[in-house]
Structure 1
Amino acid sequence: MNFVQGLPQGVYVGQTTIQHAQALASEHPELAGFNLALHVNDDPRRVQQHRMMLLNAFAEYGVDKITWMTQTHSTICHTVNQQITFDALMGDGLVTQTQGHALMMMTADCLPVVLGNREGTEVANLHAGWRGLAGGIIENTIEAMQSGATWAWLGAAISQPCFEVGLDVKDAFCVKYPALALAFEQGKQDDKFYADLYAIAAYILEQQGVELILGGDQCSYRQQHEYYSYRRNAKTGRMATFVFIR
């Protein structure tokens, strides 16, 4: 398992890919590989087995609890520590200060953002599509953290040349942060633009005082052998971004 380098000692961050040596076969070619989503009409037993494979791999690092979400493209963030919830948490952000608790976030073009403090005692994981970014999912998650965030890691998302949006999306950001006009390139039509999710997230993170920003150099749309992409194929699987404190 590959982990992100350059983070505080004891903090482990990474993202799954389509490729996995133990991925189970699927009846649906578009879901082939290491799909981790239950909501894409995959065989739930297959997905649960994939999730157990992850948990077993994490156990080597002391992980004994794993939290998934029902993601809603919202700005809702939950803090989860020792409590066990019987109903799936609704929202797009998770925070924990508990060692051995893995926070999971699923994506297939939207931007996964992992946050943490300098001491490595608090981490967060959030799902940032354009709606969440514009609404304030980064700001809300940092506010929910007890000690704030000093570093961030940006996982694989759709890159700017592949992400065409309308004027409404550009306005949603620029009304709030005028400087983000630079994150949009003019499209072939007057009311179309290419949006840079990485640049948008990095700007918001910097405004929130985040000192170190890692990642942000992948493309879920173009790297078809590594990542699922909803824009490439509307029926597709999901990767998972994870973070835990050993």
Structure 2
Amino acid sequence: MKRFVLIPLLLIFAWTQAQDLDGAWKLTHQNGNEITEEEYVKIYQDNYFSFGAKKLADNHFIGAGGGPIEFKDGYYYETLDFFTLDPPQVGTTNKYKLDLTNGKMVISSEINGRMLVEIWEKLPERKDALSGNWVITGRKRDGEISRSTPGARRTIKILGGGRFQWVAFNSETKEFSGSGGGTYTAENGKYVENITFFSRDDSRVGASLGFDFEVIDGEWHHSGQSSTGNPIYEIWTPYSLGYKPAGSKPQE
């Protein structure tokens, strides 16, 4: 009888662990060394993670990475959809031990014969109507909405714990097109981004952009003016619904 009880208990444990991760985290220590000259912020939402890193002295972009996560057999797994620090690793899955205690997360693994131990501290909790992982599926031009189904090449935006990060990449070719992120607010139909890192132009750090937003039938309608002053109207769909991996069957 115990054999049949174990599987649901493991599923509940994995689900609880994933829920505990949701939000934003900041790297404080790596292999016993305190991180003081760089900033790494990692966002978890909807069984997906993304991180962005910069140098604190001049806001120079260091790198970004992310992809789906999974808890299985007492371990934590990350599969890389994009990884600027070592692009050949895109598509690989890494196995870690993960411990959560008192708002801190300890991740450890042996990689290439060497131990990696990281300590992440959770940033203040904050949830709103846009907390989640999104993929762009539509745009409006000249009053007409055009739709697309994201595949290997896609643009995502993950929001959690008051932090956001967008990333454009191709998980098949391992090509990275760009990323940016920072803090945000989403209140009373107004969405404001405060940029803290930007892969294409460090000088953009510190800028704030305001938009209108509305969640319609579960999708995020995002409108306003781009950083270049051009009007934009975008539709973002929850990632789990909008992204269709190669070979996946259409929903009935």
TM norm structure 2: 0.25
Structure with more relative contact order (C-alpha pairs < 8 Å, separation 6 or more) = 1
TM norm structure 1: 0.26
